[in-house]
Amino acid sequence: MAPETPAGDLRLANLTKTFGAFTAVDDLSLTVPQGSFFALLGASGCGKTTTLRMIAGLEEPTSGQVLLADRDIARLRPYKRPVNTVFQSYALFPHLDIFENVAFGLRRRGIRSVDGQVREMLSLVQLDGYERRRPAQLSGGQQQRVALARALINQPQVLLLDEPLGALDLKLRRQMQIELKRIQTEVGITFVHVTHDQEEAMTMADTVAVMNAGRIEQLGAPAEIYEFPATAFVANFLGQSNLIAGETTGGNGGDLLVTVHGSRFSVPARRSRADQGPVHLGVRPEKLHLVRSADEVPAGSQHLDGTITDASYVGVSTQYLLRTGWGTELSVFAANSGSQQRFAPGDRAVAYWDPGHAFLLGRHADED
């Protein structure tokens, strides 16, 4: 199924929205490639819904452009835009059956023969056979599928999804994430998905834009922003991160040397976003490995020692806290694969990591 008119990239150029003295979206520029699955990820109040509403035409930008295939659509009325939105609330018509809910957009455009397209859409969202039910006779997940079919039937060039899975329980949400990804691949329409759930954004999207206070902190493929965050905010927003305060004290070949309370660690220069001076040495908890003594640390690794202060069994992994000699607590996730050593609070332990898995971020001198 291809959109009726040629689509193109969606581009936001210097988009700003103020409400009185408050700036909700602050000079935002980004490009969503045609046919991609794009996630706007951020905490409540960071401006993601306002951004989506400006793309949909439900909110007028204070300044800036919304371009689709190089045409500025920012001042077009919502129904004139080749864009459709799926909301968390589904917004289905309760008095119409599922068939008529999905057919609605076609009928409004005066199309009489809707049967084939409605059935194709219901099949896409795996609801064949539900045509004559009313929305109230469906589960939340099924209602969400109807909302999706109804939004897709007019073949928009861009589909906007505003926390569409927010009302579903966790297990169903995980299923629907996989399902949404499959549907997006099948229809090939650009999806822009708003969520505050980092796992959801990373599961589905080709590109994730992390928003904070109306601005983009970092934009990239899920693995890229997770493995090499641009800022401490992104490092902490996407899962847990150990950020150890230190100072860069020069280089050694392709490596940078970082001093932390008298100990020196090396990090490849390509893994650094910091200048000389105060830095955060970052290592994700699952990149740290625990052993009992420094003799067991593989060659080429970096390590530091400490005392275990907490061990929490959480099924797939055990999560440890390791207190270093200078009092910082590091988080360590050890997979419960059966072969690894176990530790208890009070045990001495050594944490080691591959220097290629660490990263360096700039730090204000007064930050911990």
DSSP string, 111-140: ----HHHHHHHHHHTT-TT-TT--GGGS-H
Residue 166 or 188: the one with the smaller Cβ distance to ligand ATP is: 166
19 lies in the site for ligand ATP, by CB under 6 A: yes
Interface with ligand ATP (CB under 6 A), residue total: 12
50 lies in the site for ligand ATP, by CB under 6 A: yes
Min dist. Cβ of residue 90 to ligand ATP (A)? 17
Phi-psi category of residue 183: left, alpha or beta, with phi > 0 → left and psi -120 to 50 → alpha = alpha
Tell me the C-alpha distance between 109 and 4, whole Å. 14
Of 15, 36, 38, 47, the one binding ligand ATP (CB under 6 A) is 47
Instruction: Work out the burial of residue 280: count CB atoms within 10 Å of its CB; fewer than 13 is exposed, 13-18 middle, 19 or more buried.
Output: buried
61 lies in the site for ligand ATP, by CB under 6 A: no
12 lies in the site for ligand ATP, by CB under 6 A: no
What track of x and - describes contact with ligand ATP for positions 71 through 90 (by CB under 6 A)? Answer: --------------------
Tell me the C-alpha distance between 134 and 96, whole Å. 6
- What's the one-letter identity of residue 73? I
Min dist. Cβ of residue 318 to ligand ATP (A)? 33
What track of x and - describes contact with ligand ATP for positions 183 through 212 (by CB under 6 A)? Answer: -------------x----------------
Residue 21 or 365: the one with the smaller Cβ distance to ligand ATP is: 21
Which two tokens mark 81?
């835009």
Min dist. Cβ of residue 30 to ligand ATP (A)? 15
DSSP string, 189-257: -EEEEEES-HHHHHHH-SEEEEEETTEEEEEE-HHHHHHS-SSHHHHHHSS--EEEEEEEEEEETTEEE
- Residues forming contacts to ligand ATP in the complex (CB under 6 A) are 19, 22, 24, 42, 44-50, 196
